[in-house]
A and B are shown apart, each in its own frame.
Chain A
Amino acid sequence: MDNQVFIVHSASIVQHGLSDILNRSFKCRVKSFHSFENFKKSELIILDNSILLIEDIIANSDEYINFISNTPNIVSYSIVSCADKKEVQNTAYTIHIKHTENEIQEKIKAEFVQEQVAKVNEGLSAREVDVLKLVAKGFANKEIAEKLYISTHTVMSHRKKITEKLGIKSISGLTVYAVINNYIDTKNIDLKDLI
C-alpha cells in the first residue's frame, strides 16, 4: 500500500514544494496542513508506516511531543529552516528547506521501503544503540539529546524506531534487552535499581 505522508508547515510554499518532490519520487499520498491544530482536528486515520514532516517550531511543542509518544505507527521528520544546512546534513530525522531534491530523497527514502528493510534487518543502527544505552541507564529524552548533541525530536524518532524494531516498549523492558546484549556494563550497577 502507498505510504501516507502528512506535512504540517505554516508556509504554503514549503508544503507545495515538499509535496511535489515526494510525489515525483515515491508512491505516496500527501496531505498538508498549516498548523498542528488543523492536522489534529482532521482526525485522519493514521495507517501503519505513515510519515509526518513537521515544522521545527511545532516539533518542540508539548502537544506534539504528547501526540508522537502516543502514536506508534508514525515516523516524524522535522523541517528546519534557520540552522546552517551543513549542520543538519548528517542529522537523522531532519530536513533542511534548502536541501536539494536529491538530498531530501536520500534522507527519507528508507521510510518508503521500510517494510522490506525491517524484516531483513532487525538489528539496531549504531546511533540507535547509543540512544538505547542511555534510555536503559534511565536518562530522559532531553538529557539524551544533550549528551548526543541531537534534538529531543530526533531522540524520540530514534526511540520509536528502537521500539518498532525490538517489539519492546517499556523502559524496563529496553533495559533488560540492553543488559542481555551487553550494551551496558552491569558490574558497578545494582540491576534492581535499573529495571
Chain B
Amino acid sequence: MYIFTKHDKIIDLVETNQHLLPVINRFGIKLGNKDKSLEKICSIENININFLLAIINTFHNEKYFPVDELKSFSSLLIIDYLKKTHFHYVNYVLPKLESLLQQLIRSNNTDIQQLSIIEQFYLKYKKELILHVKEEEELVFPYITSLVKSGKANIEYTIHSFEKEHSNVEVKLNDLKSLIIKYIEPVYDNNICNEFLIALYRFEKDITDHNRIESKILIPQIINLESKING
C-alpha cells in the first residue's frame, strides 16, 4: 500500500491511480504543472497540503483511514470538499450514467422491455440521491457552518436526525449492479453495458469514500461540538 507524500507529483498520483483525477480537481488542481511537487502546487494554489494528502490517501487505500488526523481538520474544510464532490456527482456523474443507460436502451433491438424497468429503478435512485444531496446542502451544511462559526445553531436541528438516510443510497446502487449483472436478459450492446457497469463501480467507490468521511469524521465532529455547546 503506497502512501502519497508532499514530494510526489501529479503524474505519480495518476500513474498509481487514475481515479484520483476527479479528486484532485475538487481541490481546484488542474493538470499541466510540469514537475512541481504537490507541496509546491498547494502553496501556489493556497490549498491545505495535509488535508489534500489525507483525502487522496484515504481515497486510494480503502484500509487507510487516520480518524484522529482527519478529525483535526476544520469541519468547514471538510464541508467544502464534500460540496465539491456533490457538484461532481450531480453535474457530471449522474448525467454520464444517464446517457450511458439511454445508449444501452437504444442498443436493444428486441421486444424485451426489461431495460426500461431498470431505467425506472435508476430514475428512482437518482431522485433519492439528489434529494439527499439537497438536504445536506440546504439543511445539514448550513447548520454545521453556523454551529462552527458562531457557536450556536441557526435552525432547529440536531445531527442525529441525519445519520439514517445514508445507507439506503448505497444499497440501491448495489441492487442496480446485481440486477444488470445477474438477472436481466443481455439484449444490448456489450461494450456499452460494460462501460455503464464500470461507471457504476467507480461511482460506488467514490460515494462510499464520501459517506465514510461524513459518517466517521464530520458527524462525530459535530456531535462533539453539539455536546460542548449544550454543556
Contact = CB atoms under 8 A, between A and B. Distances in A.
Real complex partners, A and B? yes
Interface of A: 166-170, 172-173, 176-177, 179-181, 191-192, 195
A91 to B, nearest CB: 29
A167 B117 CA distance: 18
B11 to A, nearest CB: 39
Contacts of B179: 168, 173, 176-177, 180
A195 B120 contact: yes
Contacts of A177: 179, 183
Contact of A169 (B118, B125, B171, B182): B171
A179 B172 contact: no
Nearest to A174: B175
Given A172-B172, A176-B118, A180-B114, 6 more contacts: A169-B175, A170-B171, A172-B124, A173-B121, A176-B175, A180-B183
A173 B117 contact: no
6 tightest CB-CB pairs across the interface, nearest first? A173-B175, A167-B178, A195-B120, A169-B171, A168-B175, A180-B114
A173 B168 CA distance: 12
B130 interface: no
B174 interface: yes
A180 B172 contact: no
Q: Which of B118, B120, B175 has the most CB of A within 10 A?
A: B175
Contacts of B168: 170
Contacts of B114: 180
A195 B183 CA distance: 16
Q: Which of A168, A176, A192, A195 has the most CB of B within 10 A?
A: A176
18 contacts: A167-B182, A168-B178, A169-B171, A170-B168, A170-B175, A172-B175, A173-B121, A173-B171, A173-B176, A173-B179, A176-B118, A176-B175, A179-B117, A180-B183, A180-B184, A181-B183, A191-B117, A195-B117
Contact of A195 (B121, B171, B174, B178): B121
Interface in B42-91: none
Contacts of B117: 176, 179-180, 191, 195
A195 B172 CA distance: 11
Contacts of A167: 178, 182
Contact of A172 (B121, B174, B182, B184): B121
A110 B171 CA distance: 28
B204 to A, nearest CB: 14
Nearest to A190: B120
A192 B127 CA distance: 12
Contacts of B120: 176, 191-192, 195
Interface in B80-135: 114, 117-118, 120-121, 124-125
Contacts of A191: 117, 120
A195 B125 CA distance: 10
A169 B172 CA distance: 8
Nearest to A175: B121
Interface in B163-179: 168, 171-172, 174-176, 178-179
Contacts of B175: 168-170, 172-173, 176
A181 B168 CA distance: 24
A170 B114 CA distance: 18
Contacts of B172: 170, 172-173
Contacts of B174: 169
Contacts of A170: 168, 171-172, 175
A121 B21 CA distance: 43
A176 B121 CA distance: 7
